[in-house]
Amino acid sequence: MRFLPRRRAPNRPSRRLWRWLALALLLAVAADTLWLAWRWPDWDRLASGPIPKSAFITTYEERRQAERSLPPLRWQPVPFTRIAPTVRRAVIVAEDSRFYIHEGVDLEALMEAMEHNWEQGRISHGASTLSQQTVKNLFLSPSRDPLRKWHELVLTWAMEKNLKKRRILELYLNVAEFGPGIYGVEAAARRYWGTTAAVLSWEQAVELAATLPSPTHNNPATRTRTFQQRKAKILRHLSPPSSGQL
């Protein structure tokens, strides 16, 4: 009797391999959950307490310990009421025009940015909201890896649920970078114009807003071409406030 050769089963990942992959995924999720739990902010304290020192400020201080040539840290947090309304308006117009509408992530701006980047063939536009930027500044790092972005989204969602928009804006304006070693609008006002954030003029407010995308190189001190173009763009979208708005 003639026996036909036995057919081999098609090559497929073994069940053991799938089990190992599933276990690795579960361990990664568990480790990430533990990391978030460890870093989870005290939202009640953040909602009304003093302005905390951000992760970016702490990182700058550590860098300056190693590089003494860096400018000294300038950071003087002030309450919301001591920040000129013109500054608040200019920053919102420049960075997040739908700040009071979205819930932390602006899906419309995200789609617009993706469409623009696709047309340009490179990533030239971002769509991070003020809420996302506040979270990144306070708790995270400048890294662009996907895991950091995931942490940013989770923390942004939580912050929007626990803090009022006014408080989020207050935190942002006090920890955002406005130049080498310059953090917050009060320190920026003193460094660039020798005044306080409470009395900044309309044009000065626009210049601070124009600084935000790349404050180290483009700011009221360097007055680069990019800075001037950014300033002009903001001016096209922001009319001078009337006396009643002040």
For the chain (246 residues), the mean pLDDT of every run of 10, in chain order, is 56 72 72 73 91 96 93 96 96 94 80 53 65 94 80 94 97 97 98 97 95 94 96 86 51
Contacts of 55 (CB under 8 A, 6+ apart): 137, 138, 139, 140, 141
Q: What pLDDT shows up at residue 12?
A: 58
Cβ pair 77, 190 in contact under 8 A:
no
Structure-block tokens of residue 168: 């989020």
Q: What pLDDT shows up at residue 18?
A: 80
Domain presence at residue 215 = yes
Task: Report the alpha-carbon distance of residue 68 to residue 212 in Å, rounded.
Answer: 24
- As for how many domains the chain has, the answer is 1
CATH number at residue 151: 1.10.3810.10
Q: What pLDDT shows up at residue 34?
A: 72
Long-range contacts of 29-37 (CB under 8 A, 24+ apart): 32/147, 32/150, 35/151, 36/151, 36/154, 36/155
Domain presence at residue 45 = no
Q: What pLDDT shows up at residue 141?
A: 81
Q: What residue type is 207 in one-letter code?
A: E
In terms of residue numbers, what domain contains 197?
81-237
Domain presence at residue 73 = no
Q: What pLDDT shows up at residue 30?
A: 75
Q: What pLDDT shows up at residue 13?
A: 58
Domain presence at residue 52 = no
| Nearest CA-CA partner of 60 in 194, 165, 144, 176 | 176
Q: What pLDDT shows up at residue 92?
A: 95
Domain presence at residue 97 = yes
Domain presence at residue 49 = no
Domain presence at residue 128 = yes
Domain presence at residue 43 = no
